[in-house]
Amino acid sequence: MPYFDHNATTPLLPVAREAWLRAVDEAWQNPSSPYREAARVRIRLDSARERFAQFLGCKPKLLVFNSGATEGANDVFRHWARATDPSLRVAISPTEHPCVLEAAKESMGARLAWLETTAAGVVKLDALDRLLGQETLAGVVTMAANNETGVLQPWSEIAQRCRARGVPFFCDATQWLGKLPASRLSEVDWVIGSAHKFGGPKGVGFLKLPAGAEGFHGLRGGEQEHAHRGGTENFPGISAMLAALAEAEEKKVFLEMQRLAWREAFERDLGARIPGVVVVAKTAERLWNTVSLLMPHTENHRWVARLEKSGFQVSTGSACATGKNGPSHVLAAMGLDAIEAKRTVRVSAGWETTEEDWRGLLDAFAKVAIELQPAATQVIQP
Ligand code: PLP
């Protein structure tokens, strides 16, 4: 069944599966234990850290392996709550993932200031400049790529501006990694990511610290991860995460322009076959794999169910928001009303998605549009 929900999670890549199995077979000892076999695991863990750090362009010591982006986000804000001047505010974009937004609200409370965004949800750099000129901030927070719309933030420009003012910048790169090159993330102070979004296993991820964050600690416990996070290291998971990132970074699959062309052709042809369908944030720079569609009629869960019957898995939006009451905060921040948000369907492709899959999805959408068509709406027959 063609899978178009990669922003929720990706299938495990064969190289990641092999790396995981090799590690559980050959390197299952606790890397902190005092005998030779354990020391070998420690050496393999250190070399995995070095290679992963090379992809991010940072020092290995700045990398904390953890359970994923949610843990990382919670830890960053808890640290900021402890380590920053309580009179200073933290500027955050309103379209962040819930793991960033909710963690920020809990730890920062009234210290949060909302960054101004365009109708596509892109942070306005001139407004950020004004804010940075007006007050000293404890931090700035924006994601690299949005999970619901695929919209890219100008995170590199934001990083430069923050660096110039000495303001810490935290960027959630969960949807960026594996889809676009990782190397420039070294420009960012605090970065989080999750392996399962780029072909690795679930429950493993990382937090990149800025230089000088020696006092940072996440989970309390043993002295693992250079004393930044307690808990026995998940070497098989880390090893599989590294294999998945290496596959993306070394094969540079994200540089194959045809992937973007397939998405664009799908959007264009869908518009011709379903009058009234709107591509959310159409003109913004977006990930090559993601399309958020505002359907002309009928609630999104009915589109999703019909498309599944036709053999295609798509989503109503963020998997984290599924089952949640109320419309998506991302779409609301972009000016969509609650009724429109309930008509939004998210399509997110992966590396294994072919042109034929995109064409098949197009035909399935056109067929479902006829099935769901309200009496008064005219749909062009395929
Ligand atoms: N950030 C973004 C942009 C995401 O899309 C997700 C997952 O959907 C997360 C953070 C949280 O990742 P995890 O559930 O692996 O902690």
With a 6 Å cutoff on the Cβ, whether 194 touches ligand 1 is yes
pLDDT of 243-273, one tens digit each?
999 999 988 766 677 999 999 999 999 999 9
Question: How many Å apart are CA 18 and CA 20, to the nearest integer?
Answer: 5
Q: Using the Cα atoms of residue 353, residue 271, residue 286 and residue 344 in order, give the sign of their dihedral.
A: negative
Nearest to 99, CA basis, from 77, 122, 58, 70: 70
Please tell me the residue having the least CA distance from ligand 1 atom 9. 69
**What structural domains does the chain harbor?**
14-251 (3.40.640.10), 254-372 (3.90.1150.10)
Closest ligand 1 atom to the C-alpha of 70? 16
Catalytic annotation present for 320: yes
Count the Cβ atoms, other than its own, within 10 Å of residue 325: 5
Closest ligand 1 atom to the C-alpha of 67? 16
Closest ligand 1 atom to the C-alpha of 71? 16
Question: How many Å apart are CA 343 and CA 347, to the nearest integer?
Answer: 13
pLDDT of residue 325: 52
pLDDT of 33-78, one tens digit each?
999 999 999 999 999 999 999 999 999 999 999 999 999 999 999 9
pLDDT of residue 1: 81
pLDDT of residue 214: 85
Alpha carbon of 335 to ligand 1 centroid (Å): 23
pLDDT of residue 263: 96
Question: How many Å apart are CA 136 and CA 165, to the nearest integer?
Answer: 9
3-state helix, strand, coil in the chain (%, to 5): 45, 15, 40
128: left (phi over 0), alpha (psi -120 to 50) or beta: alpha
Please tell me the residue having the least CA distance from ligand 1 atom 12. 69
With a 6 Å cutoff on the Cβ, whether 237 touches ligand 1 is no
Full-model pTM: 0.95
With a 6 Å cutoff on the Cβ, whether 97 touches ligand 1 is yes
Question: How many Å apart are CA 15 and CA 244, to the nearest integer?
Answer: 7
Q: Please tell me what DSSP assigns to residue 111.
A: G
- Per DSSP, the three-state class of 127 is helix
pLDDT of residue 319: 54
Q: Which residues contact 54 (CB under 8 A, 6 or more apart)?
A: none
Residue 190 phi/psi, 5-degree rounding, is -115, 125
Q: Please tell me what DSSP assigns to residue 40.
A: H
Alpha carbon of 115 to ligand 1 centroid (Å): 21
pLDDT less than 70: residues of the chain: 253-255, 318-326, 375-382
**Complete DSSP assignment for 289-355:** TEEEEE-SSS-HHHHHHHHHHTT-B-BSS-GGGTT-SS--HHHHHTT--HHHHTTEEEEE--TT--H
With a 6 Å cutoff on the Cβ, whether 9 touches ligand 1 is no
